[in-house]
Amino acid sequence: MNRPTPYTFDLGHLLANDPNPIPRDSSEADFTSNARDAAQALINQLLTTCDVKSTTEGVHLLLPQSTTLLPREKPIPAEKAPTKWETFAKKKGIKDKQRDGKMVYNEESGEWVPKWGYKGKNKDGDSEWLVEVDKKKEDATGEIENKRADNRRERKERVRRNERKQRSNERSARKPSA
User: Which pairs from 119-128 meet CB under 8 Å and 24+ separation?
Assistant: 122/155, 123/155, 125/151, 126/151, 126/152
* 42-97 tens-digit pLDDT: 999 998 998 888 889 898 888 999 888 888 889 889 999 999 999 999 999 998 87
What's the confidence (pLDDT) of residue 101?
78
pTM over 0.75: no
Average pLDDT, the chain: 85
Q: Which of 139, 157, 141, 137 is nearest to 149 (CA)?
A: 157
Would you list the domain boundaries of the chain?
Answer: 8-62, 103-127, 133-178
Statement: residue 10 has pLDDT above 60: yes
Task: State residue 99's pLDDT score.
Answer: 66
Helix (H) / strand (E) element for 157: namely helix 147-174
pLDDT for the residue 28: 92
CA separation for the pair 92, 102 (Å, rounded): 27
> How far is residue 3's CA from residue 136's CA, in Å, rounded to a whole number?
102
Instruction: Give the tens place of pLDDT for each residue, 121-161.
Output: 877 766 677 777 777 766 666 666 777 778 788 888 999 99
Task: List pLDDT tens digits, range 18-47.
Answer: 888 888 898 999 999 889 999 999 999 998
Q: Which amino acid is at 49?
A: T
In angstroms, the Cα distances linking 102 to 48, 98, 125, 137, 154 are 60, 12, 19, 36, 22
Measured in Å, how far apart are the chain's first and last C-alpha atoms? 60
Alpha carbons 129 and 113: distance in angstroms, whole number? 20
Percent of the chain residues topping a pLDDT of 70: 89
